[in-house]
Amino acid sequence: MKQLILFTLVLGLISCKVEDPISPGLLVPRTVEEDNTLPSLTLNQTRLHVETFGLPTDPIIVMIHGGPGGDYRSLLKAKAFADDSYFVIFYDQRGTGLSQRLDRSFYENSTIQFYLDDLDALITHFRTDLTQQVFLIGHSWGAMLATGYINQFPQKITGAILAEPGGFTWTQTEEYLSRSNKLKFFSEALNDAVFPDQIFAGREEHEILDYKAAYFATFENAPGNAIGNAGSYPFWRSGAVAFDEAIKFAEREGFDFTTDLSGFNTKVLFAYSELNTAYQLEWAEIVSAPYPNVAFTSIANSGHELLYFGWTDFYPKALTYLKEF
Amino acid sequence: MNKYIFLVLVLLQIGQHLFAQTLNWASIEAEDKHFLSLVIQGDYSMNYGVAYGYKLPTPKTPMVLGIELNSPFGNDFLDDWRSNVNLHMRLWERNGFAWSLNPGFVTKNYTSEVANLNNVGFVLKTQLGYYKARGSFAADVSYERTLFSKIAHTGLKAYYPAIRDGWYSSTGANIKVGATLNYSFRAYDLFLSLGKPFGQDFKNNPTLPFYADLRIQKRF
C-alpha cells in the first residue's frame, strides 16, 4: 500500500509541467524592457517606468518612492493632486519596480549620485519652462533622495513634502533602522522571511532575487511591527540588487545629504506617522534639523507607509502646504 | 501536492527506517543500534527538531540511516518544516582520523501570507575528523541543491494576479563550510556545529550569515 502511494506521488510529480523560475512574467511582473505596453521614458541610458497625470503645464509634483528598491504603486493615491491642477509624475527609480534592471556591476562601479541625476533628468524632461513650479513629495528613502536633490539643486525646487525619511546621513539612517527593524530571532515573522533562503539559493538573476525579496517584505509588515503598518501594501516588484547595492555603498562610503541645506530657506513640510513607534516627532526634529524652515505634521492612524494607509489625513495637509506657493 | 501529502511522503520514509545523524564514530558501542537527537539550531532560520538514526548491520563500512525533522520557531506550529533523509557512511579510518560521506534527500514545506512552497532537493555532506571515545572534532563541508519546487501563491496574487502557480525547476544551491565539536559521556553525545553558509555563486548568500547547531543524542 505504501509503495502504491509513493508510486502515485512520483507519477504525479513526473507528469507535472516544470517552469523555469527566471522566465519573464512567471514569478514577478515584466519590466518596461520586457513589456512595451508599460509607460516608460529613457533617461540617462536607462529605461524608467514613468506615469503622469494632469496637464503638463501645471505645477509639477514628482512623487519619489521609498526603498531603496521599492516602487511607486503605493503612492498612486497622489494622482488626486491632478484634480487640484498639478502635473503629477510617478517613476520607479533605476533598477527598481518595473524599471529596467541593471547588472550588479553597474552599481559596483557607481555611487548613489545616479539616483539624483535621474531625478534631475526627469524634471528637466517634463519642465516646460523655468518658471514652472516643481514640488517633490518623497516617502522614506524617497524623502532622503528629495533632500539629496535639494542639497544639490536648491534653485530648481519650489517646495517639498518629506514623509518619514530615515535619516539624511548614513549614521542617522543606521540608527533609525536599528529601531525600526528590530530582530526577534525566534519570531514567526523573521523565520518566515529567511526560511526561503534555503530554496532560492545563490542565484543572481533579477527574477529570482526580486521574487525572494517579496518574502522578506512580510517581516517589515508583520503584526506588531515597530513602524506601525497595518499590513502589506500594494507593490509591483522589488529591486533586490538596487537595494542590496545601495546598502553596500552606504556601509562602504556613507552619505550626507545635508551639506548645503542651510541655504534652502523655503518652508518644507515634514510628515511623520502617528503609529510608527521608531519615529515620532522626536526623530522628525532630529532628522529635519539641517533645514532652516520646517513645518511638522503628524499623519493620524497610520504607520510608516503613510501615503497609503494615512492618505485621508495626508492629502488635505499636503494640499494646504502646496497651495501656499 | 499540499503540505499534508508532503508530510505523508516524509512519514513513509520514516516507516522505511531511513534516518540521518551527526555521529562520533569512536563512541558508538557494538550494541548501539539507535540514535535519538534533540536539536536546536540557527540554520537559515531559528529551528528546533528531532533526529533518529539506525545503524545498519554493515561491519566493514559503518553506516547509519536516518531522518531529521526541523521546524522554525514561531506561532504557527509546523507550518514550516524541513526533513532530511540520508545515509551517513564512514568510508575511511586510520588512527582515530576518519572521513565520512553523508548524501541525503531533503524536503521542505513553507507556508506564509506570501505563498506555500513545497521543495525537494538533495544534500551531500562530507566530514573529516579526529574521533576518540570521549570526543571528536571534524571539519564539515556540505552542498545542498534544490531540485523542484511547488509554489502556490496566496498574498502575492492580490498584487500580481498573473503570477504563476506550479512546479518550478531548481532555484539554486547552498554550500556550507564549518566544523563540529563533540563531547561524549555514557550513552550520550553532545554536538556543536558552527560554520558559514554560502549561495552557490558565493555572492548571493543566505541572510543568516552563519549556522549553529546544538544537539544532544542518546545511543541505545
Q: Quick one: three-class SS letters along A43-100?
A: ECCEEEEEEEECCCCCCEEEEECCCCCCCCHHHHHHHHHHHHCCEEEEECCCCCCCCC
One-letter amino acid for residue A78 of the chain:
A
pLDDT at B75: 80
Helix, strand or coil, per DSSP, at residue A289: coil
Helix (H, G, I), strand (E, B) or coil at A265: coil
How much is the average pLDDT of B77-92? 92
Measured between alpha carbons, how far is A297 from A289 in angstroms, rounded to an integer?
15
Cα(A70)–Cα(A292) distance, integer angstroms: 29
pLDDT of residue A108: 84
CA nearest to B171, candidates A203, A281, A82? A203
Task: Give dist(CA A57, CA A76) in Å, integer.
Answer: 20
Length of chain A: 325
Quick: pLDDT tens for A76-131. Answer: 999 999 999 999 999 999 999 999 999 999 998 888 899 999 999 999 999 999 99
Provide the shortest C-alpha distance from residue B107 to chain A (in Å). 10
The HSE-up count of residue A182 (CA atoms within 13 Å, CB side) is 8
pLDDT at A11: 57
Has residue B22 got a pLDDT over 90?
no
* C-alpha closest to that of B68 among B99, B104, B112: B104
**Once rounded to an integer, what is the mean pLDDT over residues A125-152?**
97
Interface test with A, best of B171, B177, B211 (most A CBs within 10 A): B171
Interface contact A199-B155, CB threshold 8 A: no
| Residue A270 CA, distance from chain mean position | 17
- Considering only A169-178, A217-226, B94-103, B144-153, which range has the smallest mean pLDDT? A217-226
Confidence of residue B12 (pLDDT cuts 50, 70, 90): very low
Q: What is the mean pLDDT of residues A239-252?
A: 95
Q: Give the cell for residue A162.
A: 518629506
Residue B123 near residue B144 (C-beta atoms within 8 A): yes
Q: What percent of chain A has pLDDT over 70?
A: 95
Handedness of CA A188, A190, A194, A196 (dihedral sign): positive
Judged on CB neighbours under 10 Å (0-12, 13-18, 19+), B136 is buried
Residues written for chain B: 220
Residue of chain A whose alpha carbon sits nearest to that of B6 = A9
pLDDT over 50 at A312, yes or no: yes
> Which residues is A273 bridged to in the sheet?
A299
Q: Which three cell numbers stand for residue B110?
A: 513553507
Q: Which chain A residues are Cβ-neighbours of B172 within 8 angstroms? A: 199-203, 208
Q: Is pLDDT of B14 > 70?
A: no
Size of interface A-B (CB pairs under 8 A): 164
Q: How confident is the model at residue B17 (pLDDT cuts 50, 70, 90)?
A: very low
Note whether B1 contacts A9, CB cutoff 8 Å.
yes
Partner-chain residue, chosen from B42, B110, B163, that has the shortest CB–CB distance to A195? B110
Do A226 and A179 meet the contact criterion of CB atoms below 8 Å apart?
yes
| Interface contact A194-B207, CB threshold 8 A | yes
- Residues 6+ positions from A116 with CB-CB distance below 8 Å: A145, A148, A149, A152
List, for residues B106-131, the tens digit of each pLDDT value: 999 999 889 999 999 999 999 999 99
d(CA B89, CA A275): 56
Let me know if B113 is exposed, middle or buried by CB neighbors in 10 A (0-12, 13-18, 19+).
middle
The secondary structure element, H or E, covering residue A320 is helix A311-322
Please give the single-letter amino acid code of residue A317.
K
pLDDT digits (tens, 9 = 90+) for B142-177: 999 999 999 999 999 999 999 999 999 999 999 999
Segment among A12-21, A163-172, B71-80 with least mean pLDDT: A12-21
Our CA-based measurement puts residue A188 at a distance from the nearest CA of chain B, in whole angstroms, of 4
**pLDDT over 60 (residue B13):** no
- The DSSP code for A224 is T
Question: In chain A, what residues touch B9 (CB-CB under 8 Å)?
Answer: 6, 9
Alpha-carbon span A290 to A283, nearest angstrom: 13
pLDDT at A14: 57
Q: What is the mean pLDDT of chain B?
A: 88
pLDDT at site A221: 84
Which residue has 501645471 as its cell numbers?
A58
Q: What is the pLDDT of residue B211?
A: 95
Q: Is A7 helix (H, G, I), strand (E, B) or coil?
A: helix
- The string of DSSP letters for A48-60 reads EEEEEES-TTSPE
Residue contact B114–A194, C-beta within 8 A: no
3-state secondary structure of B198: strand
Q: Which amino acid makes up residue A283? A: W
Q: If pLDDT is split at 50, 70 and 90, which confidence band does B21 have?
A: low
Q: Which of A71, A195, A238, A305 to mutate to test the interface with B (most CBs of B within 10 A)?
A: A195
**Interval A130-134 mean pLDDT:** 96
Q: Is the pLDDT of residue B3 over 50?
A: no
Dihedral class, residue A39 (left if φ above 0, else alpha if ψ from -120 to 50, else beta): beta
Interface mutation target, options A191, A219, A233, A238, chain B, most CBs of B under 10 Å: A191
DSSP A92: P
